[in-house]
A and B are shown apart, each in its own frame.
Chain A
Amino acid sequence: MWLWFHKLSSPPHAFRTAGRLRPWFFWPAVLLIAIGTFGGLVLAPEDYQQKDAFRILYVHVPSASLSLMVYVAMAVGAAIGLIWRMKLAHAFAAACAPIGAWFTVLTLATGSIYGKPMWGTWWEWDPRLTSELILLFLYLGYMALRASFDDTQRADRASAILAIVGVVNVPIVKYSVVWWNSLHQGPSISKLSAPSIHGSMLWPLLVMMLGFVLYFAAVMCDRIRSEILRRERNASWLSEIDAET
């Protein structure tokens, strides 16, 4: 029953599997993002209050939820790697960090582009923006710690501990920032939260969300393949792979 699990931890097998899965993630992702973009930018009706500016949410919301999801996935991967000493889980966690950091940057960028016409300012010390910024710092710290070790195994285990400490801290940061802000300036919290969203606006968002998740999976396949290549650069199975492709 656990055979597939053990097989997955073998680098050559994982390398091939990731290569085989990649098109199955990538092309549906392209299709879904195309449908979602068309649905969001053309088909969805204009918001009666925010006009066309609300349409940036079709990029903003999926990247915001992925920025958090990827962090949790990274911490889970790091924990699996630390507990069962699975090198591949560490490779997964290492590959997560840059993708997640980019989703966070994208969230912040789209958020401030949205904020300019809506709130009249590029940056607002809104709890969501602030906690997203702190999340970016956590990603950057994780990557900085990885980069400072020459030995991959050490980098894996040290950064795994940081990822786990970070994931315990994320809810604390989140709630402390919300609480900090609610004392400062009450009404701004509800600025972003739409009371309800109409079906014609909702479906492109869901399609986009799914497209982003598949896109993450496709990029992950690429990244984990290059991560495996980097770690196994002296292994003999690489020459066989070379002959195959």
Chain B
Amino acid sequence: MDTFLTILLDGLQFSSYLFIVSAGLTIIFGVMKILNVAHGSFYAWGAYTAAFFIGKFSDMGMPDALGFLIIIAAAVVVGVVLGFIIEQGILKYMYQRDEVLIVLATFGLFLVLEDIILIAFGTDPYFAYQPMALLAAVEIGGITRDVYGLTLIGVATLVAIGCWWLLNKTKWGTILKAVIFDREMGISMGINVPLVYTLTFIGGAILGGLGGAYIAPTISVAPGLGTEVIVLSFAVVVVGGMGSIAGAAIGSLIIGLLRAVAVHELPQVELFVVFAVMAVVLVFRPEGLFAPAKPRKI
């Protein structure tokens, strides 16, 4: 029973941060048709920025609770600054080019951003345990869990609800859906598509940064952080169906829980199982496991 609960909570926590990151990736793909390799860098930038300032503020004797504010601020600043620069400076000029070529361009960006991290933050790892220490631990069903990890599940749920609300209950959501469905028709209806693109990219980048910033207190923030996360989020969006928020949620639950089971029961297959699932889904349902049937455009 204890093992089961541990696996379940580990899995949910892992799914949660995967979902936050992948939601950003999938929104960008859904609206702009860009598979953004540099998304891994947003994650890494979020983690580094948060860890750096949490450490700094703690050294200055500020209350540790400020950490949570820093996490959110780090995500927003990273998303807005990087997202804006990259979309306006580079991607804007690539929309007419081949989809695959844009993937390659974002790979180039990924390399650039990885090194700017090294230059800005150095190669030594950062530890920003303060917010985690602040919330201490709690006992659930006989096992001890740190509360910080549990709040991650709450944050992911909030992100999911927020995305759903934005897409289905606001004017912005309607505009987004119009652009996703038919970009040209959207333009002719008077939608400012370039603005929608910029905002979407920034929004996706903020989510990528949030994933990194929120996970930062639980890990040692070290170089190479973004490299692993980006392929994992690729696996998530592929399993759930690229461009769908619900898909990202289902994908991250499947990948997260599977990985937790693997880590506890058979650690050798931890990575294998994730990508095997990704490959199998691509082979049998390339559009994703739960992708809705699409109306055909003539």
Do A and B share a complex? no
Please give the residue numbers on chain A whose beta carbons come within 8 Å of chain B beta carbons, in ascending order.
Answer: none
Please give the residue numbers on chain B whose beta carbons come within 8 Å of chain A beta carbons, in ascending order.
Answer: none
